Chain A
Amino acid sequence: MPNKKIALVIGSGGIKCAAAIGLVKVLQEEYLPIDLIVGCSGGSMYASLIAAAVSAEDMQARTLYLWTNEVMKDYTSNLKATQDGSVRFNERSGLVDDSVMNERLRTTFDGLTFENLAIPLKLVATDLQTGEKVLLDKGPLMDAVRASLAIPIIFPPWEIDGQLLVDGAAVDPLPVDVAIQEGADIIIAMGFMLSNRGRMRSMTAVQQQLNNIYMNNILKSTYAFYNLAHHAEIFPILPDFEEPLGMFDTDKLPDIIARGEAAARAELPHIQRLLAG
């Protein structure tokens, strides 16, 4: 299939999204040309770095810089304060003081805009007030990534052009549809199911588990629809994770990357055969 438009889609999945570093290693080794990148939530960070032609080693370093416990500043105290009524919550609130995260995102994406990337990029966020999917493809990357990964309740929404934006995973955890809409013929889609919990010791843990169930079902149902409704060829890359990963399990980064690389290598012969055919 010569001259076919190839899109790379990286879905939501928190720290698991670092598996995209392993995927991009494989794509670069094989000189597979990517014409478009689409990202959502945690996947937005890696989609952006790949689009900016940042090396795999540098992506790993930026992950370690960005994802530490400090980005959860004041989470516990704010959670208690909302429960005892001393702090009131509204649509602009989050349990985390996002100043640390915002500063780190500014540093990570310093000077990068959608307009100066090596590969065209589109990121997905959700309008908290309308529930609509919002496509971000203009302006500073920091703003778009911050909006796309704003896990509701935990991180405050991020305002862009008057819209209060939160995590794109709420509407489109693996945004294959964006690649289809942009005319991609071949779509390499790295997606992640959220891990289930066996034991839940708090109301927030139960809430988190319910959220994971909802999200996994949104992922499956949207993926099924996109698969059947369009004629683009979709290659799902689904790294295996034996154990649930915490949000800041960056000590497992080498393993996460290796799993991404292994999943990509398993899919590679099928992609290459289609391109050669």
Chain B
Amino acid sequence: MEKSFELSGKIGIIVVKGSVDALTAPHLATFISEQIAAGHTRLVADLAGVDYTSSAGLRVLLGAVKETRALGGDLRLANIQPDVKKVLDLSGFTSILKHYADRDSAIGSYGG
């Protein structure tokens, strides 16, 4: 799994590639927490390159959503691939997380 961070105005973009499972999820959790600790609480996770997420990956996403929302921000998802969408749907995540077809829409959802 690869992860990187970039800024689009005041919105932090977390770009993830590869598979998120029990082996890689702890690294992603730490990485996201570091961005939040650095003051980036309005986040978009661009999942275009994520071909798979297991239950461990879901827990990381939910943890990040809780953490950012507690600070007045949010974590929103963009570019969810079909296999990942299926897991997110089954586990009810698409009901509680805001998700968008592409990165620009997710960034735009935060408004000005």
Residues of A within 8 A of B (CB): 1, 191, 219-221, 223-224, 227-228, 231-236, 238, 266, 270, 273-274, 277
Q: Which of B21, B87, B91, B93 contacts A274 (CB 8 A)?
A: B21
**B52 at the binding interface (Cβ < 8 Å):** yes
On chain B, the number of residues with a Cβ less than 8 Å from chain A's Cβ atoms is: 19
The residue in B21, B56, B90 that gathers the most chain A C-beta atoms within 10 A of its C-beta is: B90
**Contact (Cβ within 8 A) A227 B58:** yes
**Contact (Cβ within 8 A) B23 A227:** no
Give CA–CA (A220, B54) in the complex, Å: 15
Using known A-B contacts A236-B87, A273-B23, A274-B21, determine if residue A228 contacts B62 with beta carbons closer than 8 Å: yes
**Contact (Cβ within 8 A) A227 B83:** no
Give CA–CA (A238, B22) in the complex, Å: 20
Q: Which of A219, A236, A266, A273 contacts B19 (CB 8 A)?
A: A273
Give CA–CA (A232, B90) in the complex, Å: 17
Q: Which of A227, A235, A270, A273 contacts B91 (CB 8 A)?
A: A227
A sample of 9 more A-B contacts (CB under 8 A), given A224-B91, A270-B52, is: A221-B92, A224-B90, A228-B91, A231-B56, A232-B55, A236-B87, A236-B90, A266-B83, A270-B21
**B69 at the binding interface (Cβ < 8 Å):** no
Within 34-86 of B, Cβ neighbours of A (below 8 Å) are at: 52, 54-56, 58-59, 62, 83, 86
Q: Which of B21, B62, B90, B93 contacts A273 (CB 8 A)?
A: B21
Give CA–CA (A220, B86) in the complex, Å: 11
Give CA–CA (A270, B1) in the complex, Å: 12
* Beta-carbon nearest neighbor of A226 in chain B: B55
Give CA–CA (A235, B89) in the complex, Å: 14
Using known A-B contacts A224-B92, A228-B59, determine if residue A233 contacts B87 with beta carbons closer than 8 Å: no
**Contact (Cβ within 8 A) A234 B86:** no
**Contact (Cβ within 8 A) A234 B54:** yes
Write out the residue numbers on chain A whose beta carbons fall within 8 Å of the beta carbon of B83.
266
Write out the residue numbers on chain A whose beta carbons fall within 8 Å of the beta carbon of B59.
227-228
**Contact (Cβ within 8 A) A274 B22:** yes
Write out the residue numbers on chain A whose beta carbons fall within 8 Å of the beta carbon of B23.
273-274, 277
Using known A-B contacts A266-B83, A273-B21, A274-B22, determine if residue A234 contacts B92 with beta carbons closer than 8 Å: no
Write out the residue numbers on chain A whose beta carbons fall within 8 Å of the beta carbon of B52.
270
**Contact (Cβ within 8 A) B91 A223:** yes
* Beta-carbon nearest neighbor of B52 in chain A: A270
Write out the residue numbers on chain A whose beta carbons fall within 8 Å of the beta carbon of B22.
1, 233, 274
Write out the residue numbers on chain A whose beta carbons fall within 8 Å of the beta carbon of B89.
220
Write out the residue numbers on chain B whose beta carbons fall within 8 Å of the beta carbon of A220.
89-92
Write out the residue numbers on chain B whose beta carbons fall within 8 Å of the beta carbon of A191.
90
> What 9 A-B pairs are tightest by C-beta distance, nearest first?
A224-B92, A234-B55, A277-B23, A224-B91, A227-B55, A233-B22, A227-B91, A270-B52, A233-B54
Write out the residue numbers on chain B whose beta carbons fall within 8 Å of the beta carbon of A274.
21-23, 54
**Contact (Cβ within 8 A) A233 B92:** no
Write out the residue numbers on chain B whose beta carbons fall within 8 Å of the beta carbon of A235.
54
Q: Which of B19, B55, B91, B93 contacts A233 (CB 8 A)?
A: B55
Write out the residue numbers on chain B whose beta carbons fall within 8 Å of the beta carbon of A233.
21-22, 54-56
CB proximity of B97 to chain A, nearest CB, Å: 12
CB proximity of A276 to chain B, nearest CB, Å: 9
The residue in B19, B21, B55, B83 that gathers the most chain A C-beta atoms within 10 A of its C-beta is: B55
* Beta-carbon nearest neighbor of A4 in chain B: B22
Write out the residue numbers on chain B whose beta carbons fall within 8 Å of the beta carbon of A231.
56
Give CA–CA (A239, B87) in the complex, Å: 12
**Contact (Cβ within 8 A) B58 A228:** yes
A-B residue pairs in contact (CB < 8 Å), sample of 13: A220-B91, A223-B90, A224-B90, A227-B58, A227-B59, A228-B62, A233-B56, A234-B54, A235-B54, A238-B86, A270-B19, A270-B52, A274-B54
